[in-house]
């Protein structure tokens, strides 16, 4: 996995890149299907709802490693199946959504490069978001590996 970080006048951003052992269509389904997302994203079963189309809503209650639950809500800003998503995330006390982009690129028939990008207001927010995104990618990678075992 590689990580790029920047600190600029317009925010603090990161990009996480990882190559997954699964075709693009399978990675897309894992990211946009509530049942699959629940399995790998540390979400409370039954809490995930997804309307994966521009303007569609999503929500999930996530579990932290220490067992705390916190609800997340947002919308799909851009959806270009099977390779590009921009998710808006609602942040309490903030008028506009924070966005995270996801790009999937085929690396042959059974491998996918995934790149997650986000820009935050502070270095601390970036560090927390980057850590959470890394955990998501770890869970996704584990979920996809389970599917390849016979």
User: Tens of pLDDT along 77-111?
Assistant: 999 999 999 999 998 888 899 999 999 999 999 99
Q: What pLDDT sits at residue 18?
A: 96
Helix boundaries (H) for the chain? 24-32, 34-40, 123-148
Mean pLDDT computed over every residue of the chain: 90
Condensed to tens digits (0 to 9), the pLDDT of residues 45-70 reads 999 999 999 999 999 999 888 888 98
Query: What domains sit in the chain, N to C, each tagged with a CATH number?
Result: 2-144 (3.30.530.20)
CA atoms of 58 and 48, how far apart (whole Å): 7
Radius of gyration for the alpha carbons in the chain, expressed in angstroms and rounded: 15
Q: What is the torsional sign of CA 21, 144, 99, 4? A: negative
């Amino acid at each position: 996995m590689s990580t790029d970080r920047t600190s600029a006048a317009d925010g603090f951003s990161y990009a996480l890149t990882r190559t997954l052992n699964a075709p693009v269509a399978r990675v897309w389904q894992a990211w946009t299907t509530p049942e699959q997302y629940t399995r790998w994203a540390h979400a409370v079963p039954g809490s995930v709802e997804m309307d994966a189309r521009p303007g569609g809503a999503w929500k999930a209650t996530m579990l932290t490693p220490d067992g705390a639950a916190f609800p997340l809500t947002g919308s799909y800003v851009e959806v270009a199946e099977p390779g590009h998503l921009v998710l808006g995330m609602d942040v309490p006390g903030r008028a506009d959504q924070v966005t995270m982009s996801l790009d999937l690129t085929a690396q042959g028939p059974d491998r996918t490069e995934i790149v997650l990008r986000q820009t935050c207001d502070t270095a601390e927010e970036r560090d927390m978001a980057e850590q959470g995104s890394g955990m998501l990618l770890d869970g996704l990678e584990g979920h996809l590996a389970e599917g390849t075992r016979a």
